[in-house]
Chain A
Amino acid sequence: MRTARWRAALRTPLGATAAAGSLALLVLAVAGPVLWGSAAEETDVASMNQPPSGDHLFGTDDLGRDVLARVLVATRTSLGLALGATAIGIALGLILGTLPVVLGQRLGRMVVALVNFLVAFPALLLALFFAVIFGLDARGAMLAIGMAIAPSFARLVQTLSASVAGRDYVSAARIAGVGRFRLIRRHVLPNIAEPLVVNATMGAGGALLAFAGLSFLGLGVQPPTYDWGRLLGEGLGRIYVNPAAALAPGVAVVVAGLVFALLGETCAAVLGVRTGRGPVAGRARHAEQPESGKEAAGTGGDTVLHVDNLTVAFPAERGTSRAVDGVTLGVRAGEAVGIVGESGSGKSLTALSAAGLAPASATVSADRLDVAGVPVLASSEAQLRDRLGTSVAMVFQDPTSSLNPSMRVGRQLGEIAQTHDGTSRAEGLRRAVERLTWVHIPDPQMRAGQFPHEFSGGMRQRAMIGMGLMGRPQLMIADEPTTALDVTVQREILRLLRDVQHDSGAAILLISHDIAVVSQICDRVLVMYAGRIVEELPVDRLDGGAVHPYTRALLASVPDMSTPQDVPLATIAGRPPEPSERSPGCAFAPRCAFADDLCRSTDPVLEVVGPQQRAACWHPQRAESVSGGTAGEMPGGTAGQSPEQTPARVTTGDDQ
């Protein structure tokens, strides 16, 4: 299998280039001195310092020797010395790196401190230092460069062996009488070999460059021996006469350095080691307003959010997959509406699209998508800023990552007033302090001057809500606002949201995976499943009035007063279908106890089933109380019967 991976790597452009390059270098190093050795030594007084010609492709040096031949012959010396220095570096690095394991804690810590100290210095400075001590010749330079690159290997070995063995394990084995060296040989080294190989390959490239540098300065290889660095130094002195004599060894160094780098990348790719050098895929989530919006007429009366047939699609392997599929909903002024669903139901995407913040890769379309009377899809980002201003406020799931870590909280709030109301910075800050007071942040003046990391999680979420209150919100969209918080803090935040709704008159759209959370502050609940709304009903009808089997299953999984403590909570077996694998018929059918052929062949549509209540189900369930009694109706109705079971309450709601 390992061989297969190497073979596969050879077929990639990277691997193929690396292999071809290494092979060429190897052949040159072995055959170079044999083939061109005499040509490289042959002096010719008649043709000294000649520019490139047919006889001498890169001209001649000051003794009339062929530059090209000398560069080719120097391959062996240059590579040999670089590899020798690398070997010394690795050996020393291994010793320094494993010493902390071998020595006791006290001495070990001193070794770690020494390595940390040495790593802070650039390798070239260390190399110069050691070159002075070891003497100015090839052997001295090799030792010097080996010593200079040893600290970074030592650091690597220390980090790796610490992560592999773990201190407890090492000390346990030590107490058990396992010899320290045996411990390193048997347990530590085999586990760190692969990353070490990768780094050694890349390190050899670095050693090659460093050696060229030292020889170039005259501190490395001494005449009559020569390597690429020496040739470069000699060539530079005559650069007016023959620039090629300086460029040829330079090119050789660069090419050889690149071959080592590519080889290292290839090893890393095959061995699955992260080098930290490869380009990190830039998966930015910067959203762009999709162009596909249909023009919608603008007035909503007292409706602050009007969504008609919203579809959000992503590019998939075959065509597109619809994460939100024909959602229609409305939120009236001052109303609190909840959307409930499992992870992947499309609830968060619905909310983000309503605010014009869908991810860039999403295609959003709707017959109508109006927020505060503004057609979101037909407006550009700039138009949304002018028309919508601060009328939609967002509260996100994770307040820690949703606040800018490098900006003071007061400033993050204040910039809203500055941007949208044109206030001064001081006035913005004053308003920010006031809003922080509104959301019960103690000592708001001081807090406004702090950074988010100085806040507790609950306080950060309060600040987010305060941020929403900076303008005049008509709609506050809260996407799982309590999921990342402590249970106690959760309740405070929900209470705060409801109070905000009462006091500011803003409507609230609360997204949650937890039907209990939604029922605490909402007037109306929308239940989403697989990108669609499956039931819509007033909160007070939840207890006993829900008719969709999915809604009833969600309710049955909520513990309440009447749930006997010793009976396991009901869970819903199976999981929601991926957008791409949806089959015709009701999406819930595979998990539904009431599914029949009609359900499996034809999609139910949202129909009125009662006063202010709609459901998409062929067999709406009525009558008997939900709580407690229905658990047995679900297939695998109690926890633990099927390995496939997903407790509906436990899913977290990152829908993107």
Chain B
Amino acid sequence: MAGASLYGQADVPDAPDVPGAPAGGGLPYGLDRLSNPWTRFLTRRLARLLVSVFVVVTATFLMIHLIPGDPVRAALGLTAPADLVESRRESLGLNEPLITQYVSYLGGLFTGDLGTSMISGTPVSEIIADRLPQTALLGSLAFLTAVAIAVPLGLAMALLTRDGRRRGVELGFTSTAAVMSAIPEFLLGVALVAVFAVSLGWFPVAGMSGASSFVLPVLALALGPAMALARILRVEALRVLGEDYVRTARAKRLPRRLVYRRHVFPNALTSMLTIGGLVLGAMLIGTVLVENVFAWPGLGMTIVESILQKDYPLVQGVVLVYGTSVLFLNLAVDVVLGIADPRSTIRES
């Protein structure tokens, strides 16, 4: 090999150096070539979503039939006259064969017909359309708040405690975060109400009325997940700080803030995403409890009320909404993860 020149060797293809297949991973450079794994990824995910939605729909349909005894009798009470029960059964279609009911349930879904509330006689879809916005607003505000707290806090803690510095700060943070994230949202809500609404009178105790009424429910929902995320993010950022590519970045002699911003933070945030998705799903369902603490006029109140009143068509509708939202949320997290971590789409296919 002695004497081989730098450019003389260029046209000799070195076999082990060429990867087997051109793999894609991002969008801006050469869309045509790279769109392939993305299409595959999205198709697979959408197919899986469809199957999952179908399972959820079937489960909510079957829910009412799995209840032991006669649900209508249970809803109307033991004293209700038999002919009222019978006519209610008739109007709900419960006397049809199961398969007929299933088909008409599916058919109704396609036309947006989720049935009618047994208590109020209002179409279920109307009730949901009326209640959903409040829950969505509460949930997304809480999510934004959690991220707004967790990201700066977790990264700052990582930088403060890197290389085993400030052991006191580290211990204080990790134990506070552990305890905070172990307190369920409804207990935190009750504590917040007791202190900030009842004792100090800074915020309203319950209901949705103006901006100040958002503060306590959002905090109750966001604080626990925020601390959990911050704790994970700190550990991830510390791990990334020890990675070889951070050493490379330092060898490039980039300003320290660039090292953090370009090489440490994005990778730490990416590795946090998977767990972040789980936290997000739990937060969505956390609205059920928090809404009931704060008498928030959303779906969470509706679902509990309807279960207590045995208003089964309404229960079915709301469970369906919560279930499919979880599925869509999971899909969204996967897509974000696919964009943020170029390796994930490849791993998938």
Contact with A along B154-170 (1 / 0, CB 8 A): 00001001111000001
Contact with A along B324-347 (1 / 0, CB 8 A): 001100100000000011110010
Considering only CB atoms, which chain A residue lies closest to B343 in the complex?
Answer: A453
In the bound complex, how far is the Cα of B25 from the Cα of A286, in angstroms? 30
Contact with A along B293-305 (1 / 0, CB 8 A): 1000000000110
In the bound complex, how far is the Cα of B312 from the Cα of A367, in angstroms? 83
Q: Is A398 part of the binding interface, using a Cβ–Cβ cutoff of 8 Å? A: yes
Are B247's CB and A402's CB within 8 A? yes
Are B205's CB and A282's CB within 8 A? no
Q: Is B245 part of the binding interface, using a Cβ–Cβ cutoff of 8 Å? A: yes
Residues on the A chain within 8 Å of B68, using CB? 135
Considering only CB atoms, which chain B residue lies closest to A394 in the complex?
Answer: B251
Considering only CB atoms, which chain B residue lies closest to A210 in the complex?
Answer: B184
Are B198's CB and A489's CB within 8 A? no
Given contacts A240-B205, A440-B9, contact A217 B292 (CB under 8 A): yes
In the bound complex, how far is the Cα of B276 from the Cα of A604, in angstroms? 60
**B206 CB, min distance to chain A CBs, angstroms:** 9
Are B248's CB and A403's CB within 8 A? yes
Are A212's CB and B19's CB within 8 A? no
Residues on the B chain within 8 Å of A283, using CB? 164, 238, 242
Are A384's CB and B245's CB within 8 A? no
Q: Is A449 part of the binding interface, using a Cβ–Cβ cutoff of 8 Å? A: yes
Are A405's CB and B245's CB within 8 A? yes
Given contacts A247-B191, A406-B267, A446-B30, contact A415 B163 (CB under 8 A): no
Which of B17, B23, B182, B238 is within 8 Å of A492, CB to CB? B17
Are B322's CB and A385's CB within 8 A? no
Q: Is B250 part of the binding interface, using a Cβ–Cβ cutoff of 8 Å? A: yes
In the bound complex, how far is the Cα of B252 from the Cα of A125, in angstroms? 50
Q: Is B119 part of the binding interface, using a Cβ–Cβ cutoff of 8 Å? A: no
**A494 CB, min distance to chain B CBs, angstroms:** 8
How many CB-defined contacts (below 8 Å) exist between A and B? Answer: 272
Give the contact stretch, choosing among A175-183, A354-362, A581-589, A645-653. Answer: A354-362
Are B248's CB and A495's CB within 8 A? no
Residues on the B chain within 8 Å of A132, using CB? 63, 67, 307, 312, 315, 319
Are B14's CB and A284's CB within 8 A? no
Which of B323, B330, B343 is within 8 Å of A405, CB to CB? B343
**A583 CB, min distance to chain B CBs, angstroms:** 31
Interface size on A, residues (CB 8 A): 101
Considering only CB atoms, which chain A residue lies closest to B238 in the complex?
Answer: A282
Residues on the B chain within 8 Å of A446, using CB? 29-30, 33
Residues on the A chain within 8 Å of B251, using CB? 355, 357, 392-394
Are B1's CB and A495's CB within 8 A? yes
Q: Is B266 part of the binding interface, using a Cβ–Cβ cutoff of 8 Å? A: yes
In the bound complex, how far is the Cα of B24 from the Cα of A287, in angstroms? 35
Given contacts A243-B194, A451-B25, contact A254 B187 (CB under 8 A): yes
Contact with B along A98-126 (1 / 0, CB 8 A): 00000000000000000001001110110
Residues on the B chain within 8 Å of A618, using CB? none
Contact with A along B225-240 (1 / 0, CB 8 A): 0000001001100110
Are B26's CB and A360's CB within 8 A? no
Which of A246, A258, A357, A360 is within 8 Å of B182, CB to CB? A258
Q: Is A339 part of the binding interface, using a Cβ–Cβ cutoff of 8 Å? A: no
Q: Is A341 part of the binding interface, using a Cβ–Cβ cutoff of 8 Å? A: no
Are A406's CB and B163's CB within 8 A? no
Q: Is B5 part of the binding interface, using a Cβ–Cβ cutoff of 8 Å? A: yes
Give the contact stretch, choosing among B76-84, B90-98, B102-110, B254-262. Answer: B254-262
Residues on the B chain within 8 Å of A121, using CB? 281, 323, 326
**B251 CB, min distance to chain A CBs, angstroms:** 4
Residues on the B chain within 8 Å of A385, using CB? 253-255
Considering only CB atoms, which chain A residue lies closest to B189 in the complex?
Answer: A236
Contact with B along A334-368 (1 / 0, CB 8 A): 00000000000000000000010100110000000
In the bound complex, how far is the Cα of B191 from the Cα of A258, in angstroms? 17
Residues on the A chain within 8 Å of B247, using CB? 285, 287, 357, 396, 402
Are A491's CB and B1's CB within 8 A? yes
**B318 CB, min distance to chain A CBs, angstroms:** 9
Residues on the B chain within 8 Å of A246, using CB? 190, 193-194
Contact with B along A110-153 (1 / 0, CB 8 A): 00000001001110110011011101100000000000000000
In the bound complex, how far is the Cα of B251 from the Cα of A580, in angstroms? 29
Are B162's CB and A286's CB within 8 A? yes
Q: Is B249 part of the binding interface, using a Cβ–Cβ cutoff of 8 Å? A: yes
Residues on the B chain within 8 Å of A491, using CB? 1
Residues on the A chain within 8 Å of B255, using CB? 382, 385, 419
In the bound complex, how far is the Cα of B266 from the Cα of A128, in angstroms? 37
Given contacts A133-B66, A258-B179, A500-B6, contact A128 B319 (CB under 8 A): yes
Are A213's CB and B281's CB within 8 A? no
Given contacts A132-B67, A239-B194, A250-B190, contact A489 B322 (CB under 8 A): no
Q: Is B209 part of the binding interface, using a Cβ–Cβ cutoff of 8 Å? A: no
Are B199's CB and A407's CB within 8 A? no
Contact with A along B304-322 (1 / 0, CB 8 A): 1001100010010001001
Q: Is B127 part of the binding interface, using a Cβ–Cβ cutoff of 8 Å? A: no
Residues on the B chain within 8 Å of A453, using CB? 23, 25, 342-343, 346
Residues on the B chain within 8 Å of A286, using CB? 162-163, 241-242, 246, 250
Q: Is A547 part of the binding interface, using a Cβ–Cβ cutoff of 8 Å? A: no
Are B26's CB and A261's CB within 8 A? no
Which of A216, A280, A384, A489 is within 8 Å of B17, CB to CB? A489
Given contacts A212-B184, A456-B17, contact A243 B198 (CB under 8 A): yes
Give the contact stretch, choosing among B144-152, B213-221, B282-290. Answer: B282-290
Are A261's CB and B323's CB within 8 A? no
Given contacts A284-B163, A488-B15, contact A496 B6 (CB under 8 A): yes
**B40 CB, min distance to chain A CBs, angstroms:** 16
**Which of the listed residues B26, B52, B183, B245 has the most CB atoms from chain A within 10 Å of its own CB?**
B245
In the bound complex, how far is the Cα of B25 from the Cα of A494, in angstroms? 30
Considering only CB atoms, which chain B residue lies closest to A501 in the complex?
Answer: B6
Residues on the A chain within 8 Å of B163, using CB? 284-286, 288, 360-361
Are A125's CB and B326's CB within 8 A? yes
In the bound complex, how far is the Cα of B251 from the Cα of A390, in angstroms? 9
Contacting residues of chain A (377-410) with chain B, CB-CB under 8 angstroms: 381-382, 384-385, 388-390, 392-394, 396, 398, 401-408
Are A402's CB and B245's CB within 8 A? yes
Considering only CB atoms, which chain A residue lies closest to B250 in the complex?
Answer: A357
Are A129's CB and B190's CB within 8 A? no
Residues on the B chain within 8 Å of A488, using CB? 14-16
A-B contact pairs, 5 of them (CB 8 A): A232-B186, A254-B182, A282-B238, A287-B250, A396-B244
Task: List 18 other contacts, CB 8 Å, given A125-B322, A250-B191, A396-B248.
Answer: A124-B285, A124-B288, A129-B63, A132-B319, A209-B184, A258-B182, A279-B231, A282-B164, A282-B234, A284-B241, A361-B163, A404-B248, A453-B25, A453-B343, A459-B17, A488-B15, A492-B14, A495-B4
By Cβ-Cβ distance, the 6 closest A-B pairs, closest first, are: A449-B29, A499-B6, A282-B238, A284-B241, A401-B244, A394-B251
